[in-house]
Amino acid sequence: MERRKPKAVFMAFGTKGDVYPLAAIAAAFARDQKQYDVMLITHSAHESLSTHLAEKHVQYCPVSSPPVLCADQNNDTEGKAESSFFLQKKKVTRDLRQECYALIERIFGDGPGLDGDLIVINFFALEGWSLAESFCVRCIVAAPYVVPYSAPATFESQFQIELPLLYKYLIDAPSGKVCWKDVIHWMWPLFTENWGSWRNDVLHLSPCPFTDPVTGIPTWHDRPQSPLVMYGFSKEVVECPEYWPSKVLVCGFWFLPIEWQFTCKKCRKISLHDSSDDLCPSHLELQNFIKTTPIFIGLSSIGSMGFLKNPYAFICVLQTVLSTTNYRFILFTARYEPLESIVRTIAAEASFEQKKWSDDCVPLCNGRLLCFSGSVPYGWLFPKCAAVIHHGGSGTTAAALQAGTPQVVCPFILDQFYWAERMHWLGVSPEPLSRNHLLPDKNDNTSIHEAARVLSLAIHDALSSTVKARAAEIAERILLECSTTWWQCSGRLITKNAILQKDQVKVYFFY
């Protein structure tokens, strides 16, 4: 039977900060564009999204691949670890692409496509670009961060030598058509062998995009439109250079619906029906602790990525800082079991009274360090904190900026380094920390005390009047940008129509 409704597939891979914003956009799209069937393809590890998505009539389509892949730390030699990681990555990539192909074939292979069909991908779901080409579906890129990788320095010169006709094709492209700016900005990985063999052998496409699969000659007769790239950050924070493609749309920061950010169902229910800042009775002590204006520490998925090799040393660093200052810390453990196990062990050895605390709260250091395994909205928490110590994830960075709270950033991977440097350049944080100044590999006294010394200095600098004033100024500018660009719906979700020339697609933003 010929289908009557167009389909919108959102494909997002990576950790929570990479996936949740696109999931929220998918939910908003489904709510407003009821003529669409809407699906989200992501990792099975994000299954907690399925309930929220089902409420908005978005079909959750899981793939079995993990959000992150960590090198095996148990191999005896570095060479063995690298070899094992390479083989594991190759298998995971092969399985992921096979599952993605099967899902897209099931979704779009049921008959002739409709003009409104589309696939929205993030930068870790580049499979979606080639799959969209294979099934003749429009593809849009949406990401809450800048491109987390850049082309090698020799990429353009090598491209020009090996593919001179295609290089000319892209350089001479008419306005509005795909051009070299698109390639060098984000599409360049699609021209590597990593994608070429899959496109050719499995999808039966040309190994090189925009070329004929038989002759390899550029498709001069059928130039595609320049793909739309939507960025979820503020122009007040990120400079948008002229060398970016013309179809880059900077939307402002994307923030998740409040109800998606509570792990406690009772707290979530209160937030939806009560305008106060109260938590549920089970988390009264957590609420009282936050009233003391603690310093937030959260590393999100850094543990699961394999960077938190010595949780005990990390806790020792925090304990050492507390022993020489009057700070109070609230640590979000992100339910990383090795870290939580250490916390429980230390708590069991301490004599501090814990009977009044909820199951997901463990106090240490005579109640001055609170370890919380759940989650509450950053937009609610950060304005109540003296500073935010974090890994430089795009979502955490945006929430701290919106709250006007000083930051201390310790980046580990990809775009986190960009955000760390950017926050320092904006004046809302001191210089970025090196990872060993927050997560030392060794727990000897020298390593612990040096890390604690550097962390204490960074916090001291972040709490200076200059940084506080700058953070407040940036927050006001972001708020002004939001109030003049979007309108608020029930205090949670904001949507705005965007006319995208030929692509009559609605774009959704969150505040």
Q: Rounded to an integer, what distance in angstroms lies between the CA atom of residue 37 and that of residue 107?
A: 10
Predicted confidence (pLDDT) per residue in 138-155, tens digit: 999 999 888 877 888 999
Q: What value does the mean pLDDT take over residues 93-98?
A: 94
Residue 473: band (very low, low, confident or very high) from pLDDT cuts 50, 70, 90: very high
Beta bridge partners of 119: 9, 139
Nearest to 330 by CA among 380, 387, 270: 387
Predicted confidence (pLDDT) per residue in 257-313, tens digit: 888 888 888 888 888 777 667 899 889 889 999 999 999 999 888 888 888 889 999
The number of beta carbons lying within 10 Å of the beta carbon of residue 319 is: 17
Cβ pair 374, 48 in contact under 8 A = no
What pLDDT is attached to residue 509?
36
- Residue 436 is encoded by which pair of tokens? 């060993």
What pLDDT is attached to residue 353?
59
Residue 199 reports pLDDT greater than 60: yes
How many percent of the chain have pLDDT more than 70? 89
The SS3 assignment for 110 reads: coil
- Residue 80 is encoded by which pair of tokens? 């063995």
The sign of the torsion formed by the CA atoms of 173, 177, 183, 188 equals: negative
Residue 356: band (very low, low, confident or very high) from pLDDT cuts 50, 70, 90: low
What pLDDT is attached to residue 78?
57
Predicted confidence (pLDDT) per residue in 236-251, tens digit: 888 888 889 989 988 8
Beta bridge partners of 331: 297, 371
Across the chain, mean pLDDT equals 86
What pLDDT is attached to residue 272?
78
Residue 409 reports pLDDT greater than 80: yes
Q: Rounded to an integer, what distance in angstroms lies between the CA atom of residue 303 and that of residue 158?
A: 38
Residue 485 reports pLDDT greater than 50: no
What pLDDT is attached to residue 504?
34
What pLDDT is attached to residue 471?
96
Residue in this structure with the two tokens 């640590």, named with its chain if needed: 331
What pLDDT is attached to residue 32?
87
Half-sphere exposure of 469 (CA within 13 A, CB side): 3
Q: Which domains does the chain have, with CATH numbers?
A: 7-255+486-510 (3.40.50.2000), 265-484 (3.40.50.2000)
What pLDDT is attached to residue 308?
87
Residue 75 reports pLDDT greater than 90: no
Residue in this structure with the two tokens 């979820």, named with its chain if needed: 232
Q: Rounded to an integer, what distance in angstroms lies between the CA atom of residue 429 and that of residue 443?
A: 27
Query: Would you tell me the crossing angle of helices 127-134 and 193-201 to the nearest 10 degrees?
Result: 30
Q: What value does the mean pLDDT take over residues 366-374?
A: 92
Residue 81: band (very low, low, confident or very high) from pLDDT cuts 50, 70, 90: low
Predicted confidence (pLDDT) per residue in 430-468, tens digit: 999 999 889 998 888 899 999 999 999 999 999 999 999
The 361-364 sheet, strands edge to edge: 361-364, 369-372, 329-332, 295-298, 387-390, 407-409
Beta bridge partners of 363: 370
How many percent of the chain have pLDDT more than 90? 58
Half-sphere exposure of 216 (CA within 13 A, CB side): 9
Residue 425: band (very low, low, confident or very high) from pLDDT cuts 50, 70, 90: very high
What pLDDT is attached to residue 298?
93
